[in-house]
Chains A and B, each alone.
Chain A
């Protein structure tokens, strides 16, 4: 059994976990003498107080008041016995940097550093500084309905000053990385095989070490499509949090940031198609409903804050993952549960917030969340090939997101095409034209243009496919190659390359050379997330 981390008055009772370590506050000379960071800003100074691995006896949440920092891990991190290569220590320097740069991430008003110092040195348990940080937006975003068992535990935690709370290990989330790093860069491997070492050496992509070890670096890796590197970087940041490789099953604690890191890591694994890996690491999170995933579980770290730490998008991801693993029914079940909670929360917040100025924002948020769940369900039904239900579900999405009506009607038309029901497909495509005409003048015209001549890649690709079926291989190839050459940064897309390589193979026995040319084009532009199967070089 693991004690609740907020149970800080420690050690008299038979502590099965090591008592929390108390260390003196760091010497000021640390900052004025030794240079960890030669260009440290004043805020570095303040922030590093909150990110160092110490706990004040009087204020155990000294490091945790500002949620955007990884500092809150310090409280229970004492349980993981620090060795000489204590990740939390070495990460301290890194995290002080992250403290600076991630300030822009959260929109909520963070407490002024000055008030943090007060909290540290004042020696009082007064959480008013942290109460300032709790905003209406947080409450709205984090609102969730815990299950009965979880609710009981959370209530017990809230009243735990009267009796100790022992939480069964089964009810705790103890995640850890399940694999150390992903197999580097598939494009480079292909280059080594087909273009030689010299060419391969020229390929330069950002990896986890070439960016800032922070959220900023992470976002950089994501936007330039080096997702494998991004997954690795998430792993490192999570390891710093004590949830690294081999740490699964070990007691730990969670913060907003740590859960965001997990979300990003798992989301990127799904984008990369590494579904089994994602499932392995999702395992420890159970149904995303364990008590230690709620803010109420950490009343000293997040005093007064309520709701779930789990990002809503993580719940969607958790549900959708199952359909990619071949369990679409499980996906649907999970999505239904999410939808039910969304509806209940929406009803509850509506009744309590009517007349309140933030009512509109709340309505908007929960409407969009319900829309997202409905979208997921429709996609899942489509994957299950239950076309009748899928079409019904897409109609429900249209009701949620009326601005997407033309695209969705067009999508339903395509579903009919896939079944072979040409007449119904035609009806839907005509409906699309009608709907787009109804829209206001300029907006309507733009939409019609977008549908008629959808982004040029799509239209040109499809035209090239049609040319092939008409017996015009050379013309088709010319069209596709021109397209790819015109804007390779944009148009070196998996599906187009699949078509291109298929046609190369049809054209001649010398397709290998042309495929290698494609590889070269890809090598200089695409990140490590590129799906090399489409080059058909294996």
Chain B
């Protein structure tokens, strides 16, 4: 890690050690039975070994903490902690010691020292200790610059610097995918991959929505009053593992009208990820604002306000449609036609007039239909005709509904 060695003999020595979390010591258990040659010797040796667990010597994972032996890896979002020690190697008293620690990245230079005041004097064989912490916010090369200035007993002013270079790596790979539902809801699937070399415990992954949306996270289930994660017993991510997180975004009431005719790129929100690794080493990242391309709806949009998930075979059920005039100037006079398919049969009057619909406004319509085929059925067959332009808009596969035999009770 050290880049340039000191050129002259200094009275003080500067030592730096990164304080990665310690690790637990592991043993190699070797046992034998009473009747074997060593008798109780192997077991005795393990009992005498202070690094084994008392009473469970065969357990490999001991209780002793071992200091880190090398720098290790550091990732964006983690906290860089380091011990900085200035030791008086000489046999004279040194005065006016000032220790400064700066972190130089490609874009900025930060001061990390806890105290900026000079220490009046340092006796031989004593040391000045400091522990610095810094939450790493950039990827790439970082240089820790430690500068020490002091005055010798003779009054000579001395100064030296040491540089420690290290790389900050990317810990997570985040991919997002948007799904537009039949209603105004938008589903966000976030795939998060652990690209570090050690297992990661995801403490919190949340979506902070933009002002237009309310968010519901779909990654935990209420079981017996307790919130249980959908990831089950696999509470952590091994290196290279990926997890999918699901969120449902619903436009807020005041934006609901607009949401139907939003075109182009919209900002959905950002992901806030907090994780922990070995012995609780914490990391935190936020993605940039996630953007979504709104689907084009054309002039007239048909969306669903209410539809049941599951219905009984050959039993009529109700849905509520919302018809929106997406144009900005034209008032529409629409006629609704319902066409039956092999599985979907509409009930009601087809070909009726819906009345005038002003630009950027919508109307709700209740419809009744039934299905004659079991299974997942697609609702199709609605036609809206603009009487002025004599243009017909076809709406097929608007939504799906699960049709079950009436022998199975459908919970209402």
Q: What residues of chain A lie closer than 8 Å to B203, measured between beta carbons? A: 420
Pick the contact of A473: B25, B60, B127, B275 (CB < 8 A).
B127
Mostly, the B contact residues are mixed
Find the A residue at minimum CB distance from B280.
Answer: A422
Determine if B48 and A490 form an interchain contact, defined as CB atoms under 8 angstroms apart: yes
Determine if B63 and A267 form an interchain contact, defined as CB atoms under 8 angstroms apart: no
Mostly, the A contact residues are helix
- The verdict on A420 contacting B201 (CB below 8 Å), with A375-B58, A388-B234, A408-B56 known, is yes
Q: What residues of chain A lie closer than 8 Å to B275, measured between beta carbons? A: 420
Residue among B50, B66, B200, B279 with the most chain A CB within 10 A?
A: B50
Residue B64 interfacial (CB < 8 Å): yes
Residue B217 interfacial (CB < 8 Å): no
Contact with B along A459-492 (1 / 0, CB 8 A): 0011001001111111000000000000000110
Find the A residue at minimum CB distance from B29.
Answer: A379
In the complex, identify which listed stretch (B36-44, B92-100, B156-164) lies at the interface while the others stay far away: B36-44
Give the interface residue-count category, chain B. Answer: 35 or more
Determine if A507 and B127 form an interchain contact, defined as CB atoms under 8 angstroms apart: yes
Determine if B15 and A507 form an interchain contact, defined as CB atoms under 8 angstroms apart: yes
Determine if B233 and A507 form an interchain contact, defined as CB atoms under 8 angstroms apart: no
Give the interface residue-count category, chain A. Answer: 35 or more
Residue B118 interfacial (CB < 8 Å): no
Determine if B233 and A388 form an interchain contact, defined as CB atoms under 8 angstroms apart: yes
Pick the contact of B28: A271, A421, A510 (CB < 8 A).
A271
A280 to B: closest C-beta gap in Å: 18
Residue A415 interfacial (CB < 8 Å): yes
B240 to A: closest C-beta gap in Å: 12
Q: What residues of chain B lie closer than 8 Å to A167, measured between beta carbons? A: none
| Total CB contacts across the A-B interface at under 8 A | 209
Determine if B279 and A418 form an interchain contact, defined as CB atoms under 8 angstroms apart: yes
- The verdict on A317 contacting B63 (CB below 8 Å), with A505-B15, A508-B89 known, is no
The docked-state distance in angstroms from the alpha carbon of A273 to that of B233 is 35
Q: What residues of chain B lie closer than 8 Å to A455, measured between beta carbons? A: 50, 54
The docked-state distance in angstroms from the alpha carbon of A496 to that of B66 is 8
Pick the contact of B36: A263, A271, A419, A469 (CB < 8 A).
A263
The docked-state distance in angstroms from the alpha carbon of A215 to that of B41 is 12
- The verdict on A311 contacting B32 (CB below 8 Å), with A404-B55, A473-B85 known, is yes
Determine if B56 and A264 form an interchain contact, defined as CB atoms under 8 angstroms apart: no
Contact with B along A396-437 (1 / 0, CB 8 A): 000000011011101100110111111010000000000000
Determine if A498 and B69 form an interchain contact, defined as CB atoms under 8 angstroms apart: yes
Determine if A493 and B49 form an interchain contact, defined as CB atoms under 8 angstroms apart: yes
The docked-state distance in angstroms from the alpha carbon of A493 to that of B62 is 13
Residue A117 interfacial (CB < 8 Å): no
Determine if B235 and A421 form an interchain contact, defined as CB atoms under 8 angstroms apart: yes
- The verdict on A473 contacting B56 (CB below 8 Å), with A222-B45, A263-B37 known, is no
Determine if B67 and A502 form an interchain contact, defined as CB atoms under 8 angstroms apart: yes
Pick the contact of B63: A215, A313, A462, A506 (CB < 8 A).
A462
Pick the contact of B33: A264, A311, A458 (CB < 8 A).
A311
Determine if B60 and A383 form an interchain contact, defined as CB atoms under 8 angstroms apart: yes
Residue B281 interfacial (CB < 8 Å): yes
Determine if A407 and B129 form an interchain contact, defined as CB atoms under 8 angstroms apart: no
- The verdict on A215 contacting B199 (CB below 8 Å), with A383-B60, A415-B61, A450-B54 known, is no
For chain B residues 267-285, which have a beta carbon within 8 Å of chain A?
A: 275-281
B401 to A: closest C-beta gap in Å: 38
Determine if B54 and A408 form an interchain contact, defined as CB atoms under 8 angstroms apart: no
Q: What residues of chain A lie closer than 8 Å to B201, measured between beta carbons? A: 419-422
- The verdict on A472 contacting B42 (CB below 8 Å), with A490-B48, A510-B89 known, is no
Pick the contact of B64: A382, A387, A461, A505 (CB < 8 A).
A461
Determine if B37 and A506 form an interchain contact, defined as CB atoms under 8 angstroms apart: no
Residue A218 interfacial (CB < 8 Å): yes
The docked-state distance in angstroms from the alpha carbon of A455 to that of B63 is 10
Determine if B32 and A270 form an interchain contact, defined as CB atoms under 8 angstroms apart: no
List 7 other contacts, CB 8 Å, given A106-B35, A414-B63, A419-B236: A417-B280, A420-B278, A454-B54, A457-B50, A473-B129, A491-B50, A499-B65
Closest 3 A-B residue pairs measured CB to CB? Answer: A420-B276, A407-B56, A420-B201
B positions within 8 Å CB-CB of A: 13, 15, 17, 19, 22, 24-25, 28-33, 35-39, 41-42, 44-45, 48-51, 53-56, 58-67, 69, 81, 83, 85, 87, 89, 125, 127, 129-131, 199-201, 203, 233-236, 238, 275-281
A-B contact pairs, 15 of them (CB 8 A): A215-B37, A260-B37, A263-B36, A311-B32, A313-B33, A385-B199, A414-B24, A461-B64, A462-B65, A465-B67, A470-B131, A472-B129, A473-B127, A506-B83, A507-B87
